[in-house]
Amino acid sequence: MHPVHLVALLAVAQFFAFGVLVGRARAQYGVKPPAITGHEMFERVFRVHVNTLEQLAGFLPCLLIAGQYWPDALVAGIGVVYLVGRQLYRQRYLADPSSRQAGFLLTVLPIFVLFGLGIIGALGLR
């Protein structure tokens, strides 16, 4: 088993699941493509999806590079914190966008840690 790869695939699955929720919100709130505005709840669901894509662009390479230099359990564990952070971000953002900070921190902090681990490993400082 490769837990780092599993976490990477779960992150992609989470992103796709958030995309499905955007489609459902379009139908529920009557926001027809290509519009990305119209109903506040649709816009929240859409923003969560787009923000997840923005974070995923940094998370996946950092996760996979750190996984080349550090123990799988450590790197995968940090990745799980990211996944939980994304879910918390989604829940809080949909309830009240101003309450998203905890989920955001649990998303960006793991990325920064993985980035640091990747740099240390790539520079041979480990």
For residue 49, give the CATH number of its domain. 1.20.120.550
What percentage of the chain exceeds 70 in pLDDT?
100
What are the helix (H) ranges across 30-100?
40-69, 72-95
In this predicted structure, the answer to whether residue 99 has a pLDDT above a threshold of 90 is yes
What percentage of the chain exceeds 90 in pLDDT?
98
With cut-offs at 50, 70 and 90, classify the pLDDT of residue 126: confident
With cut-offs at 50, 70 and 90, classify the pLDDT of residue 9: very high
Residues 6+ apart with CB under 8 A from 24: none
Q: What's the first-to-final CA gap in the chain, in angstroms?
A: 24
pLDDT at res. 1: 84
- Write out pLDDT tens, residues 50-69: 999 999 999 999 999 999 99
User: Which position has the token pair 């790539």?
Assistant: 122
Domains of the chain: total: 1
- Write out pLDDT tens, residues 32-43: 999 999 999 999
Residues 6+ apart with CB under 8 A from 84: 106
Q: Which domain holds residue 96?
A: 3-122
pTM value > 0.85:
yes
